[in-house]
Structure formats: structure tokens, C-alpha cells
Structure 1
Amino acid sequence: MPAGVTEETVVVGAGTAHPLKGILTIPKDTVKPLPAVVLVHGSGVSDLNEAAYAYKPFRDIAYGLAEQGIAVLRYDKRGYSYPQEFMGTAAASVTVKEETVEDAVAAAFLLKQDKRMDAGQVYLAGHSLGGMLGPRIDAEGGNFAGLILLAGSPRSLWEIAYDQNMRVIAKLDDSIPAKAEAAAKVEAELARAKALSAMTDEQAKAAPAVFGAPAYYFKEMDQHGTAELARKLTKPVLVMQGSDDFQVYADADYPLWKDVLKNNNSAEFKLYPGLNHFFVDYDGAGAGTPDEYNVPGVVDARVIKDMGQWVLKQSR
């Protein structure tokens, strides 16, 4: 931990059915109310560092922002702390509301109640799925001063899953018999995903999984479309994207954000050459595949500096 930073353990959602362990990272020797940031995880089961492979991106961001005079709250994801609620028959009716949204709103509330924080300067920084959900979390009670969307997308999650699968298949040699078979399976998944909008909620809960996730999970997300919610935003938004991201795309999702937010004069966009989905700079063996995530790396200092400067600019 950097010398000018201190940390304390907190509970996000204290008194609810799902209290979560959190860490509040704050700059030492502060006298004025602080601007603060809630970090919101990407897909899957994540601890408070959003530890994935050899990375701990939320730790990196928390330290780097605190060094710039900004408090940061990170916390274990509900699926990490209460895995039984996301498995078996329970999984069929789980949505991002239970998985992510409610706890991010609770985290924002915790910061706003802390007298050391400036309640009017609490921001969301969402990564990947957390970036996609940023506008919804804001609308459903987060009421943030601004949003930082890191490698998020305004598209449907199933569209991204389709693209991810097809881009992997496209790299296979055409002489491999399984290539066409794999492509056909992915196309069939896409057709099932597109059919969800015509289903009732109960039908979706009973439907087979789509792209490895419960069908209702996708349907419920589409009922709160990211693009639709983002178009209504007038508050400051910072969209950040790595050019070497092979999960969310600099050539598809990033320009789409620019279109969705074109009427928001407070929206800014930053594209980082050479950075991957976790904003790590990597150009060695396995680059462009999940293998690169196994090589230890940290979030690029430029990204954290830009995040901090953006927050401080809003809060002046």
C-alpha cells in the first residue's frame, strides 16, 4: 500500500440480508470532505479486488486514486459472499439487480453517509459488466455525481457473448471440421437469445441457458437497456477503452458509446493504445487470448491518473 494511503474495513449493506465485506481506501491527512468512487465489478464471481487470473485491478485503482486525494470503496461481490444463491434452481431467477445493482446502490449510500466524504461528489467506476450497468445503477438509486465506464458496452450482453465466440471461431483454420460445427452452435445460441424478448418472464425462467447463463438473466437485463438509459444522461460520463481489448471492442463498442452519448455535452472518451480488457499493457506470448491474463500486470498508470484528474475536475 502506498505511503500516503490508509485503509479500513467496512460493511456494504449492513442490516440487509446480504452484508458484504468492503475496504475503504482513503488518503491520509485529509481535512476537507473527499470526493469518492464506488468500484463495480465485471461478470462472474469477484472479490473486492476484482481478482482475475494474475490481476487485481480494483486494488490498483483504489491505491492510485487515493494517492490523488480520492476515497475509494471496493467490496466483495454478492455471488462471492453468497454463492449458494447463484447456483442450482436459484440461478434460473437471478438477475443483475441481485447480483450487482442493489449492492452498488448500497455502496453509494454508505459513502454518502460518511461525514468525511462530499456526498455530492460520489462517483461510480464500473468495469466491463459494471460499466454496462452504470447507467442503471445510477437510475435505480445510485444518484452519482458522474460515471466512469471502463470497458463497458451499450449493447446487449448476449450480443457481446455472440461476438466473443465468433471472433474466436474466426481464428480457427478453415480445414478444421469442427469450425463450421462450432459456428452453427453459436448461431443457434444467438437465435435463442433473440427469441427471449417474445417470452414472458416465467417462460424465460424455464428456458434453457443461453451462452452459458440463465435465459432470464439476459431477458431482465434487456428490459433495462444500457443504451436507452445512457441516452438520458446529462451528468458527466467518462468512457475508457483499451485498443487491445478482445472482450469489449474498440472498433464496435467504443464508437457506439460516442453515438449513444452524442447529446451529452458532459461526456468524454479516452482510448488507450495497447491496453487490454483490464487496462494492462501486454505484448508477449499469448497476447490477444486469455493466456495474457496469467502474466502478472497492473492497471496502466495513465488510466488511473486520467480517472483521478477527471473526478477532481468535476469536484472543483
Structure 2
Amino acid sequence: MTDEKIVIGAGTPYPLNGILSIPNEPNGLLPAIVLVHGSGPGNMDSKAGNTYLFKDLAEGLSEKGIAVLRYDKRTFVYGKEMKDDTGMSVKEETIEDAILAAELLRKDSRIDSNKIFIIGHSFGGMLAPRIDAEGGNFAGLILMAGSPRKLEEIMISQNDDLLDSLNWLLKMIARKQITALSAKFENLYNLNDEEAKSTKVLGKYVRAYYFKEMGEHPAGDYLRKLDKPVFILQGEKDVQAKVEKDFEGYKKILDDKRNATFKLYPNLNHMFMPSIYGNILKAQKEYKVAQKLDKQVISDISDWIHSIA
């Protein structure tokens, strides 16, 4: 493959560096993929500890004749400038740049503009249906370890999982913190936008508006209307997305749709790499172990894209 340096959003207030991986021996116009990050600031390789999910995806899929576009997340580059924006939502954080990435691919003469796909990982998987509907206009969607649940539901659920791993003293302290956070979330949708923008829910900067705006655009609403192919993948040992709540949740939403494909991977974690600890408390420790994306996942995504393209 050839890695070409590109810029997403050139000429906007938030230009982002990225890489377009192009197969070495293209056979006609190429299908292409936009990669969309999980939660938090992330670089173009989606570095987590000593794992590099997006770099692995780009290398693996470009070897199979698919162009892959990855780029730094806006909050990774401009986090300091954005932290005081009380009206920041997932639109500014993620959606706008993913749409700009798709537009950049459509202008590339080597890319088949009718065969541009999105891969959203984790938080990116949650947003992918909305990105598609709001201007991405993809040929198909690939959701890796995503969730149809609201973000605040996932956070409370993950905190509850953490509780189960703590000793009695830490559990008592943590339970008070979780109860306080739950109380803030309970009133979320009773706030108007201005109230939500002035209400802090996490730390110094994260406002209720961020959760409220996202929660008012649930993934299920987009997925129920979706008539294009969607591929949903999850690792059985994922401790951040839940098989019974998330993978099965997608199945319920898409139950009657022939356009949906599902695959669950034994012993793979949230990064689609072999599970080591299987414990949410040790997730960061697990990611410090240098591992590669499972090759079967790359093959399955490639086969699915080529079957459509």
C-alpha cells in the first residue's frame, strides 16, 4: 500500500492531519472507508496503550484492495481550544469531520464515489448511523463494538460493573459518586438547551448539553429507517460494550431487516484483539500489551465490502 498524507477540513478553523492508505495495484476504481474514532481524544492510528486499531485496519484492508482514510480526532488536536465551548456536541467533536472525510474521498478520481463506507468503532459506531444520515451518504455502515443505548446509560452501566470489582470500602465511596452522577442524568431531558449548556455533569468542562443533544438523536431512530447494508461486529469478551445489551440490542432494532449482518468473535476484546484479563478495571492494563487486530476481522470486513461493491 501507499500512505498519502492528507488534511481533513483544510480551510476550516479545525484542519486535521490524516493518512489515506491506497492499495498498491488498484484494479479500477477503489472502494474506500472512513474510520471514525471511539470516545475521547484519539490520534489517527486510534492509539490505546500499545494497540493501534485504525493503523491495523488501514494496513489490513488496503492489502485487500480497499482504500482507507484515517485522521486525528478534533479534540485530540484542538482539545484546549474546545474545552470552554459550553455548546459543544458530537456534531463539532466527530460528525462534521467524518462528513468532510467522505467528501474528500468523493473528490478523489481513484475512488468509486458510490462505494464509500464508514467504520465506526465504539463511540464512533454509536454515531455512524447519524453521520450517514446527516451527510455522510455512505454505501454501507460497519459498526465495531458500538451501542444503540444512550451514552449516559452506558456510563452508569460501566460504573456499576466497576463497583462489582472493588473492595467494600472503595465500593461504598464509588456508589456515592455513581448515585450523584445518576441524579444529574435523571433530569437531563427536562433541561432546555441553555440550562443544559450551563450545567456541568463531569469535571470542569463536560456539560449536560453534550449528553442531551446526543441522546435526542438515538442510533435506533436512524437504524430503523436504514435501507442500506450494515455490518455489526463485537468481541465476546468486550467489557466496554455488552453482548446482551449492545450486540443483542442492535439485533432487536434490525430484526426484520435483510440488510443487516451480525458477527460475534470468541475471545476478542473491545479492540478486536485477544482478551487477556476480561475485567473492566484492567482494560487500560490490557491495552498496554502490544497486540494486533485479529486477521479474521479484517477478512470479514473486506469480504463484506467486496460482496456489496
- Deviation of the 1:285 alpha carbon: 9.4
Question: 1:269: Cα distance to partner?
Answer: 0.5
Give the TM-score of the pair, scaled to structure 2: 0.95
Q: Residues 87-106 of structure 1: matches in 2 within 5 Å?
A: 87=83, 89-90=84-85, 92-106=86-100
User: Partner of 1:16 in structure 2?
Assistant: 12
Count of equivalent residues: 307
Counterpart position of 1:194: 186
The one-letter amino acid paired with 1:58 is: F
Deviation of residue 37 (structure 1)? Answer: 0.3
In structure 2, distance between residues paired with 1:272 and 1:289: 20
CA-to-aligned-CA distance 1:34-80 (integer Å, 9 cap, x gap): 00000000001111001111111000000000010000000011111
The answer (yes or no) to whether the contact 1:286–1:292 under 8 Å persists in 2 is no
Contact 1:189 1:211 in 2 (8 A): no
Aligned CA distance change for structure 1 residues 211 and 247 (closer, same or farther; 3 Å)? farther
Q: Deviations over 1:177-221 (max 9, x none)?
A: 342332232123122112110100110111122488321110110
Confirm or deny: 8 A CA contact 1:8 1:23 kept in the other structure: yes
Q: Tell me which of 95, 111, 114 is aligned to 2:108.
A: 114
Identify if the C-alpha distance between structure 1 residues 211 and 305 changes in structure 2 by more than 3 Å, giving closer, same or farther. Answer: farther
Residue by residue, what CA displacement relative to the aligned partner does 1:230-258 show, whole Å, maximum 9, x if unpaired? 11111100000011111111121110000
Which residue, 247, 253, 259 being the options, matches 1:260?
Answer: 253
- Structure 2, unpaired ranges of 5+: none
Equivalent residue, structure 2, for 1:54: 50
Q: 1:172: Cα distance to partner?
A: 2.2
Asked if residue 70 in structure 1 is aligned to residue 32 in structure 2, the reply is no
Specify the alignment match of 2:239 in structure 1.
246
Residue 86 to residue 308, structure 1, CA distance change in 2 (3 Å): same
> What code does the residue aligned with 2:165 have?
K
Maintained 8 Å contact 1:280/1:297? yes
Structure 2 residue aligned with 1:42, among 38, 45, 56? 38
Residues 24 and 72, structure 1, Cα contact 8 Å, conserved in 2: yes
Aligned with 2:147 (options 126, 150, 153): 153
TM-score calculated relative to the size of structure 1? 0.93
Paired position in structure 2 for 1:280: 273
Q: Which residue in the other structure is 2:136 paired with? A: 142
Judge conservation of contact 2:33–2:67 (CA < 8 Å) in 1: yes
Query: Where do residues 208-219 of structure 1 align in structure 2 (5 Å cutoff)?
Result: 208-210=200-202, 213-219=206-212
Structure 2 counterpart SS, 1:123: strand
Residue 287 (structure 2) aligns with: 293
Matched, 1:203 2:199: no
**Consecutive aligned runs of 4 or more in structure 1 exceeding 3 Å deviation:** 210-213, 284-288
Provide the C-alpha distance between the structure 2 equivalents of 1:108 and 1:241, rounded to a whole number of angstroms.
Answer: 24
- Offset of 1:19 from its aligned partner? 1.4
| Alignment-mate amino acid for residue 24 of structure 1 | L
Deviation at 1:30, TM superposition (A): 1.3
- Inter-CA distance 54–270: structure 2 relative to 1 (3 Å threshold): same
Measured after TM superposition, the shift of residue 301 of structure 1 is 0.6
- Specify the code of the residue in structure 1 equivalent to 2:54: F
Name the % identity: 45
CA spacing shift, 1:283–1:235, aligned 2, 3 Å: same
The letter for the 2-side match of 1:276 is N
Displacement, 1:22?
Answer: 1.1
In 2, Cα distance between the equivalents of 1:84 and 1:218? 20
